[in-house]
Structure 1
Amino acid sequence: MSKKLVIAYSGGLDTSYCAVSLSKAGYDVHAVSVNTGGFTKQEIEHIEANAYKMGVSTYKNIDAVATFYNKVVKYLVFGNVLKNNSYPLSVSAERIIQAIEIIEYAKSIGAKYIAHGSTGAGNDQVRFDMIFQTLAPEIEIITPIRDQKLSRQEEIDYLKSNGIEMSWEKAKYSVNKGLWGTSVGGEETLTSGKPLPEHAYPSQLQKEGEQKVVLTFTKGELTAVNGKENTPEKNIQILNDLAAPFAIGRDIHVGDTIVGIKGRVGFEAAAALITIKAHHLLEKHTLTKWQLQHKEYLASFYGMHLHEGQYLDPVMRNIEAFLESSQEQVSGDVTVSLKPYHFTLDGIESAHDLMNAKFGSYGEMNKGWTADDAKGFIKIFGNQNKIYHQVNSES
């Protein structure tokens, strides 16, 4: 019987332990990692070299940056999704696409088993297991770290006993970089009272002063930066390169994990925050108040479902259809000023700007109705409140 197994391989201690132990247990291990914007060519080569040291039969790196944008990030922009009004879902959004790509790869090579290195305490175990179970219920999921409840030292000792001599000292800060932002975890984020120190963030302040950037959106998508057109995912990377020297986009997210406990994590997501805020400003000018209102709560549901691994529920396609249809008029330029540690939105130019109406300017003289029209409207508009207070007034 074939014991072909695909492992979601990052190259860290947990997935290295899984690769070695499963190979020793007689599985034909095929390692795969998914690039959603966080890998350089050199890093991929390094991970591949290490994977073969762990005894895997093959290693594959899947470039899914464009897929990540088209299937997830695009809708996070359309919805201006910031979980708890701060976090652009940098890591949780990536995990969904990684899980889908890995299980599809496992199916394509006829694997009977699939493994990941998640523990039993976090969100990723839920996201990976749910995607795997839904798309390939016939493939058995194996999770050595979760099942064996291993300590970090036990994993290191096991690898050393099998001739794997590598530096496994845990970095003081864990950093997960991707297209839509970088998460930063450390001892400070394990409790509630301390900020992350300056040096923990991947981008340090290198520029002073102010730099103007013009972002062009076409039907809600970022299609050009400073007049130069590229694919939206490339423009996000370009914008991040412009903003990173200003150390923009830092914050600490506090949220509810899928398993019911509170979690705290630092992040740096300059391009994500600037794109969302610029896009939202353009929407304020180009959408009606009812479009804006209904988009807000649907986008909140979208972000929550995505965070909790419910990406494959058909309601997500329904919400995506609504979000995409809302972007028909969301085109124009937004001027942003980059400054040390923050940015400001200067204004927009759009052919669909609803401030350019012929009816008049807010707070100034109107051109579309008479004073008597206004009085009649106000009298009828206030009927509901007047009736309520007359019926329920104390007499």
Structure 2
Amino acid sequence: MSDNNGVRKVVLAYSGGLDTSVILAWLRERHQCEVVAFIADLGQGEELDRARDKAYKIGASEVYVEDLREEFARDYVFPVLRANAVYEDGYLLGSAIGRPLISARQIEIARKVGADAVAHGATGKGNDQVRFELAYQALQPDIKIITPWREWDLHSRSELLAFAADHGIPIDRTGSAERPYSVDANLVNTTYEGELLEDPAVPAPNGVFFRVRDLRDAVDEPETVRIGFRAGDPVSIDGEERSPAEVFALLNELASRHGVGRVDMVENRILGMKTRGVYESPGATVLLAAHQALEAMVLDGEVALLKRELMPRYANLVYRGLWFAPERHMLQAAIDYSQTDVTGEVEVALYKGNVTVQRRAAERSRYNRGLVTFEQATSYDLSHPEGYIRMTGLRFRTVPGGSK
């Protein structure tokens, strides 16, 4: 059965896995259209040339494979880091922040090749369908969006496998293809969810994880690392300048050895249901701790308080796919203003899943040892607090009989 719906050419966000491979063939069959596959390298550590060859074999007219790791880290992850953004106290937004970049490049390719539609492989219950499609609409409102998981009659893994077999689609039965759960990886994190992880009362088996070492296998001696920041962004490791993607690659490797960065949580999805997410974010966990430690030296107290109040709102915007929304840009401007003086170096120790800040130094630190020392301070009059205390306590003293 064909249903062209006026679509001539579609750009598909393609991963090489079962879902998007079936989608590629389904698009050609159902819509009788040309399909351009786009494969984004966000640091997932997979062999992307194999995915490219597979897309051509299934019937893609063109395949774009692009290394976006530096852009991802610099223009998407670092702004989130400046905000110290964490969703619901655990999720460091690695997958959530990858979708806007993929979508933006998809739209650029669609314009380049003259496509009139875009498509993605996100399911009908998950968050990513919202993230992809809100980004498409923000960047090109008139683009047609094809959502196979909300349109076709394939509703299970077995039906997808049967479709693949009927259409001669090769299925890689090694690695993640054999795992009974969903896996999504990039430079920032690896996400595991679904199937055997759907019961929050059942611990995630050790075989689930492949990025961060189990604590029992972690290195037995602590290891220190110095992270240099400039205007809120990490720029060096142990005194050596590194590119944004290199910073993550080095810290991912180091933190993983020490069992740093595993999170197992139940979170609220965009569409209202709760889901269990298991995450590994080794380098990002280290950077968050170091960045917060440096901010504590530099930020004005009221600015720091306001920034902490804004963070959950910012994290919610990113999680809900509103990266290109005006309110996210507005919050980002405020956050980036606060980072002007967040320049310095932080030393942390990594050991058995822990990140411990040991030393921090900032170029424009507000920390004044002369004011806080227990020795005789030369620039502080010990009589001054009395006036502050009396004025603050005035409202207590004006209540008849004292405060209840």
The TM tier, using the shorter chain, reads over 0.9
- The 3-state SS of whatever aligns with 1:322 is helix
- The 3-state SS of whatever aligns with 1:348 is strand
Q: CA deviation at 1:206?
A: 5.0
Name 1:97's counterpart in structure 2. 101
Correspondence for 1:379 among 383, 387, 390: 390
Q: CA deviation at 1:381?
A: 2.5
Q: CA deviation at 1:28?
A: 0.5
The 1:149–1:373 alpha-carbon spacing in structure 2 relative to 1, beyond 3 Å, is same
Name 2:202's counterpart in structure 1. 194
Residue 51 of structure 2 is aligned to residue 47 of structure 1: yes
More moved, 271-280 vs 285-294: 285-294
Q: Distance in 2 between matches of 1:165 and 1:373?
A: 77
Name 2:80's counterpart in structure 1. 76
2:277 aligned partner, one-letter code: V
Residue 257 of structure 2 is aligned to residue 245 of structure 1: yes
Q: Is the 8 A contact 2:7 2:117 kept in 1?
A: no
Q: Deviations over 1:134-192 (max 9, x none)?
A: 22222211122221241222222122112224346642343222111111225453122
Name 2:37's counterpart in structure 1. 31
The 1:384–1:108 alpha-carbon spacing in structure 2 relative to 1, beyond 3 Å, is farther
Q: Is the 8 A contact 1:173 1:186 kept in 2?
A: yes
Q: Distance in 1 between matches of 2:235 and 2:401?
A: 56
Q: Distance in 1 between matches of 2:103 and 2:302?
A: 36
The 1:87–1:165 alpha-carbon spacing in structure 2 relative to 1, beyond 3 Å, is closer
Query: What does residue range 160-171 of structure 1 map to in structure 2 within 5 Å?
Result: 160-167=165-172, 170-171=178-179
Q: CA deviation at 1:314?
A: 1.1
Q: Is the 8 A contact 2:180 2:196 kept in 1?
A: no
Q: Distance in 2 between matches of 1:306 and 1:160?
A: 38
Correspondence for 2:116 among 112, 117, 123: 112
Residue 292 of structure 2 is aligned to residue 280 of structure 1: yes
Name 2:3's counterpart in structure 1. none
More moved, 56-65 vs 198-207: 198-207
Name 1:127's counterpart in structure 2. 131
Residue 189 of structure 2 is aligned to residue 181 of structure 1: yes
1:8 aligned partner, one-letter code: A
Q: Is the 8 A contact 2:347 2:357 kept in 1?
A: yes
More moved, 73-82 vs 158-167: 158-167
2:157 aligned partner, one-letter code: R
Unaligned runs of 5+ in 1: none
Q: Distance in 2 between matches of 1:134 and 1:196?
A: 37
Q: What is the TM-score of this pair, normalised by structure 1?
A: 0.92
Query: What does residue range 47-66 of structure 1 map to in structure 2 within 5 Å?
Result: 47-66=51-70
Corresponding residue pairs, total: 390
Q: Distance in 1 between matches of 2:26 and 2:281?
A: 36
Q: Distance in 1 between matches of 2:245 and 2:280?
A: 17
- The 3-state SS of whatever aligns with 2:371 is coil
Q: Is the 8 A contact 2:289 2:355 kept in 1?
A: no
Unaligned runs of 5+ in 2: 1-5
Name the Cα RMSD after superposition.
2.1
The 1:133–1:373 alpha-carbon spacing in structure 2 relative to 1, beyond 3 Å, is closer
Percent identity of equivalent pairs: 29
Q: CA deviation at 1:260?
A: 0.4
2:106 aligned partner, one-letter code: I
More moved, 69-78 vs 208-217: 69-78
Q: Is the 8 A contact 1:213 1:337 kept in 2?
A: yes
Name 1:367's counterpart in structure 2. 378
More moved, 182-191 vs 268-277: 182-191
Q: CA deviation at 1:39?
A: 3.7
Q: Is the 8 A contact 2:21 2:169 kept in 1?
A: no
Name 2:23's counterpart in structure 1. 18
More moved, 149-158 vs 56-65: 149-158
1:180 aligned partner, one-letter code: V
Q: CA deviation at 1:67?
A: 2.0
Q: CA deviation at 1:364?
A: 5.6
Q: Is the 8 A contact 1:118 1:146 kept in 2?
A: no
Q: Distance in 1 between matches of 2:122 and 2:371?
A: 59
Q: What is the TM-score of this pair, normalised by structure 2?
A: 0.90
The 1:149–1:292 alpha-carbon spacing in structure 2 relative to 1, beyond 3 Å, is farther
1:36 aligned partner, one-letter code: L
Q: Distance in 2 between matches of 1:273 and 1:378?
A: 40
